[in-house]
Structure 1
């Protein structure tokens, strides 16, 4: 994977980085909607900036950023990885764009009859998240590995905190209950358009947030 990133020429520049540039680039779906929202903001979208208690500034955004995890060749690919400055601190954030698409398989579905590679990956993720073992089977696995990716990149870039933010454009807030369930693993009470933060046993600070995007981008 190349470590060289080129400046974006607009929303269509994001399409080439998708796993399936044809199937995933559709009006009203998360990849295209997210691209238009972030490009129009020319920085942090207002609702994402609102996840931070202090004025927040986007330092760099990397669409479809891949983070290697243990136990296999398939990386965790975030819709956006963002380095964010807020006040005198910095944050490494993975952004998960959503419209009506679900968060993928549950832990129970993904970890059924696990291979050695899956066991190794689950152990790494649980260690990063500060979990004692495999979480309840109804938790969405995607939320786990996206958050683990943020924690890994926060260590790599030596930021003050890591964040996993769901940037949702669903008017009905579809799948918020799954996010709320995940936040509950850390004793967090999730609320739409607010963030919550804790310090993990590792000493890393973790922020989780659900940001409601502007629905006007669903038609672009």
Structure 2
């Protein structure tokens, strides 16, 4: 993974960073919708800024940011990684863009007859998030590694807080129930357009938020 980044000149620059550029870059799908929204904002989209407060400021954003999970498996490829400053604190933020796409496989499918590598990975993710392993079967694996990515990057960049934000452009808030079930495991009650938070064992605050994106970007 390279460590030198070049500023984008528009949404089209995001396409080449996708795992499957031809398949994933489609009108009405999350990758293209998220890119158009964030590029148009030239900073934080208003719905994301509203989660963090009136003084929230985007310091840097990196599309399709890969985060090592400290094993031999695939990295977690975050739709957008951002460093945000708000309330005199810096926050490492993993942004997951969503329209109608699911949060990927359930734990019961991903962890069926797990290899030693999967056992090691899931234990690592659960330890980072602060929950028992293995977690409930009906939760989505993606939410675990995306949340852990935010925590790992908060440690790496020595930010005050970490956050995992779902930036949803679904008019029906599709998959909010899956997000809420994951937060319930952490002892949190999910709310739309509002941060909920918990303290990690390392003292950092971990935030979660569901931001409702502007539907006009579905046609961009």
TM-score w.r.t. length of structure 2: 0.98
Summarize the alignment of residues 28-107 of structure 1 with structure 2, pairs less than 5 Å apart.
Answer: 28-107=28-107
Q: What is the rounded CA distance, in whole Å, between the counterparts of 1:188 and 1:85 in structure 2?
A: 24
Q: Deviations over 1:65-111 (max 9, x none)?
A: 00011343310000000000002100000000000000000111111
Identify unmatched segments of 5+ residues in structure 2.
Answer: none
CA contact (8 A) 1:107 1:141 kept: yes
2:6 maps to 6
> What is the root-mean-square deviation of aligned Cα atoms in Å?
0.9
Q: CA deviation at 1:54?
A: 4.6
2:146 maps to 146
Say if 2:165 is the partner of 1:165: yes
Q: What is the rounded CA distance, in whole Å, between the counterparts of 1:18 and 1:185 in structure 2?
A: 31
2:175 maps to 175
Q: What is the rounded CA distance, in whole Å, between the counterparts of 2:49 and 2:77 in structure 1?
A: 22
Q: What is the rounded CA distance, in whole Å, between the counterparts of 2:89 and 2:215 in structure 1?
A: 30
Q: What is the rounded CA distance, in whole Å, between the counterparts of 1:21 and 1:126 in structure 2?
A: 31
- Secondary structure, in 3 states, of the residue corresponding to 2:13? helix
1:213 maps to 213
**200-209 or 80-89: which moved more?**
200-209
CA contact (8 A) 1:193 1:212 kept: yes
2:156 maps to 156
TM-score w.r.t. length of structure 1: 0.98
Q: What is the rounded CA distance, in whole Å, between the counterparts of 1:69 and 1:152 in structure 2?
A: 8
- Secondary structure, in 3 states, of the residue corresponding to 1:165? strand
Q: What is the rounded CA distance, in whole Å, between the counterparts of 2:55 and 2:189 in structure 1?
A: 23
Q: Deviations over 1:150-207 (max 9, x none)?
A: 0000000000100000000000000000000011111111111111011022322100
CA contact (8 A) 2:107 2:140 kept: yes
Q: What is the rounded CA distance, in whole Å, between the counterparts of 2:90 and 2:33 in structure 1?
A: 26
Q: What is the rounded CA distance, in whole Å, between the counterparts of 2:5 and 2:71 in structure 1?
A: 26
Identify unmatched segments of 5+ residues in structure 1.
Answer: none
CA contact (8 A) 1:61 1:81 kept: yes
- Secondary structure, in 3 states, of the residue corresponding to 1:44? coil
CA contact (8 A) 1:58 1:83 kept: yes
Q: What is the rounded CA distance, in whole Å, between the counterparts of 1:179 and 1:8 in structure 2?
A: 30
Q: In structure 2, do the counterparts of structure 1 residues 64 and 172 end up closer, same or farther at CA, with 3 Å as the change threshold?
A: same
